[in-house]
Amino acid sequence: MMVKPVIGITMGDAAGIGPEIIIKALSEKEIYKISSPLVIGDGKVISSELIVRSSELEINSISKIREAKFKFGIINLIDLKNIKMERLKIGKVNKMAAKAAVDYIKKAVSLAKEGEIDAITTAPVNKKGLQRAEFRFLGHTELLAHLTKTKNYAMMLVGGPLRVVLVTTHLPLSKVSSSLRKEKIYQTIELAWNNMKYFGIKKPRVGVAGLNPHAGEEGLFGKEEKKFIIPAVKEAKKKGIKAEGPIPPDTIFHRALKGEFDCVVCMYHDQGLIPLKMLAFDRGVNVTLGLPIIRTSVDHGTAYEIAGKGVANPQSLIEAIKLAAKLAKTRSGRQ
């Protein structure tokens, strides 16, 4: 394997901003200083985007990693040739584009499992498109878990000074409480703890948020803390994990910012995402914990409303590539 980690960047939904932010990210010399980027997508889409952006980047279509030319100015591309441009409408839900996006992920996972690439960074997919394509997974994370036969996994979001890990993800608020279990909360705490070493933290401290106001106020404002969260934290402590909680959600992030915790385990999606996006809206990165491979992603969607307009901000993708490279080096011991 090369000194600079090879990062497989999947193109995502061709009708969204994925191709645009990839071109913009690979226009930054910094990316090539820290990694060897490899795009997995469709050559016609990338070529079209280069023309629209008046970019001087050149495509090097390859079928084997050894054919890549990892230097600034060249986009090494594994072209799956699965987009028909005449059927692609930018900014619109597209069944073909959704199916193609799944193909990019499958190819990237295959390369990662074979050791051909060191990490995967994904551009966004569209959930409505996946539904139209009769895709049985909710999104990237669930597909990655299926492809790698991973049962215990969690979503971590990294942005600025915060790291948050979610116990539940894309659920209606009305279903969060009934979805909480001691075992699931404990597993999430354990995943957060175990993965901090890849961030260079030898003795991590995990803060666990309560679900209810005042973390339930000893059962006055809800029973979930007593039933599920407190037992999970106690179990984690028994296993030697330095965890504290449940902590009132309105104070835990302030304490994390002061340096008391290296990551915060949150009970539901917006509990963790609101403070993170407030602090690092354009720089958030999604990391899937528990997989046998490294996967980072942008912390935003396909943004159909601005697709094709040239105004998409690539910073989240840039940060995702940088974090993938860092995690790959840490895991391999190449620092």
Q: How much is the pLDDT for 127? A: 86
Contact 14, 23 (CB under 8 A): no
Those residues of the chain that have pLDDT short of 70 are 1-2, 333-335
Give yes or no: residues 145 and 3 share one domain: yes
Place of tokens 């990338």: 46
Q: What's the CA gap between 316 and 116, in Å, rounded? A: 25
Q: What's the CA gap between 85 and 195, in Å, rounded? A: 41
Give yes or no: residues 231 and 310 share one domain: no
Strands (E), the chain: 6-10, 36-41, 58-61, 74-79, 119-122, 154-159, 162-166, 206-209, 243-247, 263-266, 285-289, 295-298
Instruction: At 306, list the tokens.
Output: 């601005």
Give yes or no: residues 137 and 24 share one domain: yes
Give yes or no: residues 227 and 319 share one domain: no
Give yes or no: residues 145 and 109 share one domain: yes
CA 102, 106, 108, 109 dihedral sign is: positive
Q: How much is the pLDDT for 2? A: 46
Contact 34, 72 (CB under 8 A): no
Angle between helices 230-238 and 182-195 (to 10 degrees): 50
Q: What is the CATH number of the domain that holds 63?
A: 3.40.718.10
Q: How much is the pLDDT for 333? A: 64
Q: Using CB atoms within 10 A of its CB, is residue 115 exposed (0-12), middle (13-18) or buried (19+)?
A: exposed
Give yes or no: residues 273 and 304 share one domain: no
Which residues span the domain enclosing 281?
A: 152-290
Q: How much is the pLDDT for 303? A: 96
Q: How much is the pLDDT for 334? A: 53
- Tens digit of pLDDT for each residue in 169-217? 989 999 999 999 999 999 999 999 999 999 999 999 999 999 999 998 8
Give yes or no: residues 284 and 307 share one domain: no
Instruction: At 11, list the tokens.
Output: 């193109």
Q: Return the number of other C-beta atoms located less than 10 Å from residue 266's C-beta.
A: 29
> Tell me, what amino acid is at 25?
A
Give yes or no: residues 234 and 296 share one domain: no
**Number of structural domains in the chain:** 2
Give yes or no: residues 166 and 259 share one domain: yes
Q: Are strands 206-209 and 263-266 parallel, antiparallel or unpaired?
A: parallel
pTM of the model: 0.94
Give yes or no: residues 36 and 98 share one domain: yes
Give yes or no: residues 205 and 128 share one domain: no
Give yes or no: residues 282 and 297 share one domain: no
